[in-house]
Amino acid sequence: MIIIDLEEKYKRPYFMCLEEWSDEMKEAGDHKENWYNKMKDKGLGVKIAVTEDDKVVGMIQYVPIEHSTAEGKNLYIIKCIWVHGYDEGVGNFQKKGIGKRLIKAAEEDVRSKGAKGLVAWGLSIPVFMKASWFKKQGYVKVDKLNVSVLLWKPFSDDAIAPKWIKQRKKPEKIPGKVSVTSFINGWCPAQNIVFERAKRASSEFGDKVVFIEINTFSRETFLEWGICDALFIDGKNVRTGPPPSYEKIKKKIAQKVKKLK
């Protein structure tokens, strides 16, 4: 097992969260690849874990904090870390020390770039990317927004703790129509799936439904809303982690369409 920087030949599994076996992933479009192509010149770091028989079984991606949903200075933030945990595809590689090696490699990299610390985020509930795992790796909680915990590992005494950027406004209803507003940044294939499903479902209702795409890759747009990836139907937030099915999104829109006069 080696931990290396992302190379050309491993880009496809990286763009698909190492889940090339998944039909759901095929719904994610090319947003991640487009995001990568823009971010690779803005300080994005990607480390991957590759087995001796050339399988990509883990990844970590991190960016300067200015390109994230938190505010801070001279810090990098881990967008996500993922050690493949399903039986399908390359199989389950969790709990073999790979996550630990990936985060160490990221720490060394950002230290060498002169960062004053590495920031991570995780959930306070025991699902998905857990805050508890980062605590175990020496990260300390500095902020919390609902179940999203922000943690960090400062490298120097003069490092300043980061904070979450909070939501600043929400989409409005459109009189006489159902509005479906989808915020997309591109970095997360799961969220890109939600965007694609919402767009497709909206198109099934003709002019009764207005689909609004808000691309938050632009920093200005993100800061205007304080929202990175999200789905709103008639101004109401729909939970998107894990991605709701196409049918579920369509049903939610249909319920609103039914109520139109």
* CB 214 to ligand COA: min, Å: 21
Residue 64: strand, helix, or coil: strand
Task: Residue count of the chain, please give it.
Answer: 261
* CB 31 to ligand COA: min, Å: 14
Long-range contacts of 171-174 (CB under 8 A, 24+ apart): 171/212, 171/232, 171/235, 172/235, 173/234, 173/235, 174/210
* CB 131 to ligand COA: min, Å: 9
Half-sphere exposure of 229 (CA within 13 A, CB side): 23
Residues that bind ligand COA in the complex, under the rule CB under 6 A = 80-83, 85, 94-100, 128-130, 132-133, 136
Q: Smaller CB distance to ligand COA: residue 83 or 110?
A: 83
Structure tokens at 119: 């920031």
Q: Smaller CB distance to ligand COA: residue 82 or 205?
A: 82
Q: Smaller CB distance to ligand COA: residue 130 or 173?
A: 130
How far is the C-alpha of 59 from the C-alpha of 14, rounded, in Å? 7
Q: Smaller CB distance to ligand COA: residue 80 or 105?
A: 80
Q: Smaller CB distance to ligand COA: residue 44 or 83?
A: 83
* CB 79 to ligand COA: min, Å: 7
How far is the C-alpha of 218 from the C-alpha of 222, rounded, in Å? 6
How far is the C-alpha of 80 from the C-alpha of 62, rounded, in Å? 7
* CB 83 to ligand COA: min, Å: 4
H-run or E-run covering 247: helix 246-258
* CB 93 to ligand COA: min, Å: 7
What's CA 172's distance to the chain center, in Å?
25
How far is the C-alpha of 89 from the C-alpha of 259, rounded, in Å? 44
Q: Smaller CB distance to ligand COA: residue 132 or 156?
A: 132
Q: Which residue sits closest to ligand COA, CB atoms considered?
A: 99
* CB 78 to ligand COA: min, Å: 9
Give the C-alpha distances (Å, rounded to integers) separating 254 from 17, 128, 176, 259: 31, 30, 14, 9
Q: Smaller CB distance to ligand COA: residue 29 or 241?
A: 241
Helices (H) and strands (E) in the chain, counts: 7, 13
